[in-house]
Amino acid sequence: MSDLAPGAKLRLVGSAGALFVVVVGEVFPAEYIASRIESGEWQHAPKPRKRANGA
């Protein structure tokens, strides 16, 4: 749960497949995020791939 430190930004994928970002804090406490991930409702998003043209 070290990646759930206050202020951390997490890229997640919801149950419908939508990519979104949450910031650990008052609105999304670490315990809430962890429970959603453990239940399978949210998943960590894959790291973005670098573009071949360097953009």
Mean pLDDT by 10 residues, the chain (55 residues): 86 95 96 97 90 71
pLDDT at 54: 62
pLDDT at 27: 95
Model's pTM, two decimal places? Answer: 0.80
Contacts of 7 (CB under 8 A, 6+ apart): 23, 24, 25
pLDDT at 21: 96
- Do the beta carbons of residue 46 and residue 19 sit within 8 Å? no
- Do the beta carbons of residue 42 and residue 12 sit within 8 Å? yes
- Do the beta carbons of residue 4 and residue 33 sit within 8 Å? yes
